[in-house]
Amino acid sequence: MKTKLRLLLIAILLSVSFTHAQKTDVWDFGALGQPVVETTPFDNANLYTKQLSVGIINGWYSSSITVGSSGSVLPTPFTVGDLTWVGNTSDRLRTSNTDLTRYDSTVGTSAGYTGRVYCNGTTTGTNRYFDLKLKEDDEVTVVCRVDTEPGELSVSNGVLQVEKFAVTASSSSVTEAKFVAKQGGTFKIYCTQGKGSFYRILRKPATYINIAGTIDETLAAGISGYSLMFTNLAGKSWTVPVASGSYSVNLPSGFDYKITLANANDYVVNSGATLSVTNTTTSHNLSVKAVDTYTVSGAITGLGSDISKLTGLTYVADPAANKIYAPKPVVNIGNSTYSVKLEPNTQYTISGQGVNDYELWANTVTLTGATNADLAFTPKQTYPVTINTTGLDAAQISNLKLTFTNLNESGYVYNFNSVSGIALRNGTYSISYTGLDNSVVVMTLTSNLKVNNAAVSKTLDFVAPPSTSSLPYTSVIAVGTDKSYKTINAALTDVARMTRTATDRVTIMIDPGNYEEMLVINQANVTLKNAASTPTIELLNKGVDIGGSSVRITSYYGNGYNYYSMKNQKWDADVLRVNKENGYLTSTNAGSGTTNGSYWNATVVVTANGFEANDIIFENSYNQYISLKESQDIVELGFENKGVRPTTYRSTAVQNKSFVERAAALAIANNIDKVVLNKCRVVGRQDSFFGGTGSRVVVYKGVMMGGTDYIFGGMNAVFYKTDLAMNTSDVSSDVCYITAAQQSTGRGYLMYECKVTSAVPGTETASASGSKPGYFGRPWAPNTSEVVFYNTTIETSAFPGSEGKSLILPLGWLNTLNTKTESPYMYEYGTIENSGENNTASRAAWATKLATPVLAGSVAITTFNFTKGSDNWDPLPQLISNENLGVKDNTPTSAVNVVGYKNRIAVSNVKSETSVAIYSITGAKVRSFKTSQDSDFEFQNGVWIVVVKAVDGQKSVKVITH
């Protein structure tokens, strides 16, 4: 009976204790209840208030989304209690809790955490952040990490409180950032560097404890009118007066406090200077003592008018003396004097604030009694700086004004009105200028100036700024070693300056060769053409070299690494030179995704309609070989790196599976229309060819090479009689996934009479054998992704152990790109297995095997049904006709117009003798004639290809008469 009463009493006491304790609010984005370290689960209602549940999280999503499904981006914004999330439409909830609607289960390997809000892009505090309402002294813990170093978490309540925390980028750990609200209000929480991931946020309201105590003043004769100051680790202080040797203060529980004295400069806390406050702390006694000090005072000399910059003096005791007393110097700027009380027989080191251009030669003092001593500042030694210039005439040099900014000491900037007579003290300086007409000359990017105990010289190069004036329209321009343009980028720059109509096309003829460039095609109707008379897309020597009639556009950036050469996600020669001279990076690689225009570090990014390419190799050498420019770059490890990369030019060691990572060769942005790749080759390993949502793409023949998810994105695309070459290493686990489709609406990929083949060992790859069997692909977006393999020829494998087997495994498709990403729109029809196998019955059950060439919704499998959109775009008949009829890709396009209307054909804009030939859709010539003037004639009903040849070029046009 006594035992029962005792247990009941304990339960009542615990209940009372829990009632008086403030409960901690928990926002856990996995909606689970177990802390990482504590043994008490979050679902203990006496200690915690769980702000998130399965029902609450699933309620963020549209009712049309199946609860518990994956692949859905995180809705924005949402509010739960006092926490509000504001994000981007591409941000994601990633959790292994399958009861939740989520994007995928990629949480990381941090033990105990089952969900995270993932920012799919960098943040600025305006586009991705949490707002959390706090009361004064609330304690907050933010559990987070970022994807790239350096990482930083910012917490702010306007300008009243700003906290910064370094954040880990390791996928196997997290950072627990703790702060205390110094005042109530709404706090903004976001990562300022890297893509942030937030696992959990906890808010612990302050529980105030009254603590009283006495102060032993026995050793503090004469002390009076003073106060105690309690300061916690968050930097917040509580000051309470001492009356009759006692005090009383209310302090938040759960913190450690340092106790100092206020209004008692000659006294210190002798014992009890630290205090840990818990819910059971009620009293704390301490003692104070007088500090034996002597006063030293005197004049401050040597600063002249710069005395006004002196913001204070600091006296630091020798650490070995273990002194508590902190001297508080008094400076009289007007009189240039100072005074300070110091403990005797202790060496102090003196420094001045705000006057870094000066130094104290006599910067230590040890007192044995009161004394006078002047503080004599001396200007720091300066060293001559010789400035040389290029690109300026004498008048410009005389007008040049230079500014040197000390990079390591904030606020120290030096201006000179002439390039002569410059002298600076030791330091590292950036250089800027004024006084010149920037429309005439500009300074090229220059490295920092370093002054280190000696005279130094620096050359500043000035050049004419890039011209922005308009250029007349030119339909064809040329790139090559002996051409007007030496690089493709230079040609594209001038294309942007051309005055042309919306339909005027510019063709850039490119001489065969290797072009190690990163391109952004941001002007409409641009064509890149191989200028060889008989162009090829050959790879040679394990993929390192190309054929003599080939054009290769290549770069080497990839996920997991940072580059000294990078500026705005692109290669820049000046940035590489300057960063090498400075010895540090200035840009962090955004890596995978579209952030900052990276597009998975794509070699070529297309952001304008009407792009066409003919007989071009688009490559990312990241997983192929070490290119010349990569061998000359400085490459540092970043987030998700695959170890230190080789540096030897032409090394193919990066083809090893251990190095394989995301690195695109070609990327087409969202909603970019009418892109045509004619007999091109795309070369990569993982994520080689990206096409954005809403873009329309036609790939005519050529070769698409890759390994993991290498054709990916939400584009509407037709791959017509294209070789799909598996580009994998000899490691048995290196298996190919051809596609990773991400459509949510519209059509997907049509692989029309394509051939699944392998990169050629020893020629196109360093692998000793051809590829092992792989997969058609795996959907990226569940339920809606679409890929159609139509009349596909599948070659056999020569990989050891798989000789003679089909290059597509019997299962055909996998759902492992995200968590169970399955789509019934993974179609297969009319497959031709060279191995003789029939794997139809073994295909993934969720994919669709077609008995007839008709898709869901009774849509026939035709190329036109995938390209037509709303304007009946259909470039394939002309591509086929051009090839069959010998229309060369490198022939300029004639300005002669051909249209069909009703039962007539009109040929207009004829400026010279023009040959006209009319062919049936099968290629049979029906009629031909020559004319030197516009012609309009009646013609029989049908679909016709009209080929015109004139002095200015030729063209092939499909017309319909009826």
Segment 262-272, tens digit of pLDDT: 999 899 999 99
Opening angle at CA 896, ends 891 and 899, nearest 5: 120
Using the structure block, give the residue that is written with the tokens 């790109």: 817
Q: What is the pLDDT of residue 922?
A: 66
| 675 vs 279, higher pLDDT | 675
Taking the C-alpha atoms of residue 884 and residue 718, their distance in angstroms, rounded to an integer, is 20
Of 432, 463, 494, which residue constitutes the final position of a domain? 463
Q: Which pLDDT score is estimated for 4?
A: 43
Report whether pLDDT(74) > 90. no
Q: What is the mean pLDDT of residues 510-530?
A: 98
Question: Amino acid identity of 111?
Answer: A
Task: Quote the pLDDT of residue 607.
Answer: 98
Q: What is the distance between the alpha carbons of residues 447 and 38, in angstroms, rounded to a whole number?
A: 51
Would residue 13 count as lying in a domain? no
Q: Same structural domain for residues 455 and 513?
A: no
Residue keyed to tokens 């036109």: 864
CATH number assigned to the domain comprising residue 234: 2.60.40.1120
| pLDDT-derived band at 2, boundaries 50, 70, 90 | very low
The CATH number given to whatever domain includes residue 449 is: 2.60.40
Is 6 a domain residue? no
Q: Which of 714, 706, 705, 702 is nearest to 672 (CA)?
A: 714
Question: Does 5 score more than 60 pLDDT?
Answer: no
Cα separation of 736 and 774, whole Å?
5
Query: How far apart, in whole angstroms, are the C-alpha atoms of residue 64 and residue 57?
Result: 15
Same domain, 743 and 759: yes
Number of structural domains (the chain) is 6
In a domain, 10, yes or no: no
Please, are residues 681 and 702 in contact by the beta-carbon 8 Å criterion?
yes
Rounded-to-integer distance, Cα 439 and Cα 945, Å:
51
CATH number at residue 768: 2.160.20.10
Helices (H) and strands (E) in the chain, counts: 8, 82
Query: Domain for residue 90, yes or no?
Result: yes
- The neighbour count for residue 853, using CB atoms within 10 Å, is 15
| Percent with pLDDT over 70 in the chain | 95
Q: What is the pLDDT of residue 38?
A: 63
pLDDT band at 34, cuts 50/70/90?
low
Residue type, 807: L
Query: Which residue in 761, 779, 781, 783 sits closest to 770, CA to CA?
Result: 761
- Of 351, 346, 349, nearest in space to 367 by CA: 346
Q: Predicted confidence band at 544 (pLDDT cuts at 50, 70, 90)?
A: very high
Residue 636 confidence (pLDDT): 94
Tell me which residue range forms the domain holding 312: 294-379
Q: Are residue 68 and residue 142 in the same domain, yes or no?
A: yes
Indicate if the pLDDT at residue 923 is higher than 70.
no
Predicted confidence at residue 216, as pLDDT, reads 97
Lowest model confidence (mean pLDDT) among 2-6, 104-108, 688-692, 717-721: 2-6
d(CA 714, CA 825): 13
Q: What is the mean pLDDT of residues 119-135?
A: 83
Spatial separation of the C-alpha atoms in residues 956 and 880, rounded to whole Å:
10
> Is it the case that residue 103 has pLDDT exceeding 90?
no
Residue 515 host element (H or E): strand 513-516
Measuring CA to CA, which residue among 98, 96, 97, 119 is closest to residue 106? Answer: 96
Lowest mean pLDDT among 480-489, 586-595, 791-800: 586-595
81, 152: one domain? yes
Q: Same domain for 162 and 228? A: no
For residues 195 and 165, the answer to whether their CB atoms sit within 8 Å is no
**Per-residue pLDDT at 325:** 92
One domain, residues 190 and 216: no
Sign of CA dihedral 565, 568, 572, 575: negative
Which residues make beta-bridge pairs with 961? 942
Residue 748 lies in a domain: yes
Do both 615 and 713 map to the same domain?
yes
The pLDDT score that the predictor gives to residue 15 is: 39
469 vs 888 pLDDT, higher one: 469
Place of tokens 């013609």: 939
Give me the CATH number covering residue 110. 2.60.120
Is the same domain home to 313 and 268? no
More confident residue, 40 or 842: 842
Does residue 109 register a pLDDT over 50?
Answer: yes
Min mean pLDDT across 599-613, 782-796, 886-900 is at 886-900
pLDDT (tens digit, 9 = 90+) per residue, 652-690? 999 999 999 999 999 999 999 999 999 999 999 999 999
Task: Write the pLDDT tens digit of every residue in 424-464.
Answer: 999 999 999 999 999 999 999 999 999 999 999 999 999 99
Pair 194, 128: CB distance under 8 Å: no
123 pLDDT higher than 70? no
In terms of domains, do 66 and 96 share one?
yes
Strand (E) positions, 77-174?
A: 78-80, 83-86, 92-95, 115-118, 129-134, 139-146, 151-156, 162-167
Kindly state whether residues 242 and 301 are assigned to the same domain.
no
Task: For residue 291, give the amino acid letter.
Answer: V
Residue 374 reports pLDDT greater than 60: yes
Give the pLDDT confidence score for residue 864 in this predicted structure.
95
Give CA–CA dist 594/669, Å, rounded: 9
Give the pLDDT mean for 80-86: 94
Q: How much is the pLDDT for 20?
A: 43
The candidate with the shortest Cα–Cα distance to 193, out of 166, 162, 155, is 166
Cβ–Cβ under 8 Å, residues 275 and 284? yes
The CB-side HSE value for 446 (13 A sphere, CA atoms) comes to 23
Asked whether residue 6 carries a pLDDT value surpassing 50, the answer given is: no
57 phi, psi to nearest 5 deg? -65, -45
pLDDT at residue number 889: 53
The neighbour count for residue 554, using CB atoms within 10 Å, is 24
In a domain, 879, yes or no: no
Q: Which of 774, 775, 780, 777 is nearest to 821 (CA)?
A: 780
Last residue of a domain, one of 156, 174, 204: 204
Examine the domain organization and report whether 334 and 259 are in the same domain: no
pLDDT of residue 13: 38
The CA distance from 315 to 349, in Å, is 6
* 248 part of a folded domain: yes
Which whole number is the average pLDDT over 138-149?
A: 88
pLDDT value, residue 696: 98
Most confident of 179-193, 417-431, 884-898: 417-431
Answer yes or no: do 340 and 395 share one domain. no
What is the C-alpha to C-alpha distance for residues 534 and 544, in angstroms, rounded to an integer?
Answer: 21
Q: Which residues pair with 703 in a beta bridge?
A: 681, 723
Are 654 and 624 spatial neighbours (Cβ–Cβ below 8 Å)? yes
Which residues, in sequence order, are bridge partners of residue 49? 25
Mapped onto helix, strand or coil, the DSSP state of residue 211 is: strand
Residue 827 lies in a domain: yes
**Surface-to-core class of residue 33, CB atoms within 10 Å of its CB (0-12 exposed, 13-18 middle, 19+ buried):** middle
pLDDT-derived band at 531, boundaries 50, 70, 90: very high
Alpha-carbon span 851 to 755, nearest angstrom: 20
Tokens of 780: 């990226």
